Structure 1
């Protein structure tokens, strides 16, 4: 007995489009896509390229943070320009000598923080410009309620996730949170990621980090991300472990 064919209704297509930003049910025009769909693809591709190649306005970020009561400091990686940064990921993971000294000097006057927040441009300046300050504001409120001290916000240029290790180490922080622009896709060019590392130091492997990703309007909201990060930080401080070993450590603690 053959099963009846499932008819795809216009309502089901509309529902599917509302559930995802992915390119679904675009239609056809002859052998190709409708003009509207083709132009939308080109626009999103241009936005993704702009997110990668544009520079974060660190002066603007510093001013916005200052209005919220946060001190900040600017640092640079060893990648001297955007072209080198894109082609040499290793240089984006290392602090410049001048930046290293700047942070060490600051650490001597600012005291030892519990948490260092590093804002790295990563591969999407759009994500940083749109989401980083709002997320830091929310995190500041949650960490303040827990009695945790945040150090000066580190604004890092041409920086990848691992640059947060030497930066937090120079400040003497117990834990680092790196907010970084994630690699843009054709459905989202403004996604921010948060990487949390306990006892950060140069050479820390990625397996010792916890990640909260897709922080953006249309993804994980700022409030939800702040709650998730704050809960993770609380758990990490309980067991003094972050990364893939965190779950087992919490199970042992509760057992």
Structure 2
């Protein structure tokens, strides 16, 4: 399964690299800063076509709307280009996120960074891997001595909520990073590079693969209340057990 997923991601990744830092068609969604490109749509079509051919009975949930409901126990969750704004501006942190859910639980997860040709993959019960090497969250990290990653929702121009949360974490953290791609951030937590992550107003396709990568790397990923993430969860906190707990403690003050 993971080999299939890797081959699909590579094909979509080649399309993205062929068009990176070139003139492409750009549009916006409900907000002017929420961008979508022809590359997003073509990448999604590649992935959806591959899945539909290989597993025609499976359901599909994809960011750009290529959804298919077959009343199946299996559902593919696709973000064809996480970090579109980065991609448009020539910043190389962008990723393809692909996950297979069974009965609303992630069974396989893959995040591919085409610019670096890096794969992060996980299978339930089998661990998480970066380019074939087993990875783990860093169990020794605390909020105070680690790097915490976050992102700002597209609504940040209309709401101060994300800034208020940022201001709660900043005095407590060793450092804060904002890469613009949640899928990538979760991979860095799973790899023990970032100690933790939090964000609001995320969609399932942003984090579907990352959820399994974190869990299989020995980490904890929940909502702000410590509850298991559901299909409709929008708040995310991740890290080792103590970082997850402490971040939630700060965010919920």
TM-score of the aligned structures, taking structure 1 as reference length: 0.31
Which protein has the larger Cα radius of gyration, Structure 1 or Structure 2? 1
More strand by share: 2
Higher helix share: 1
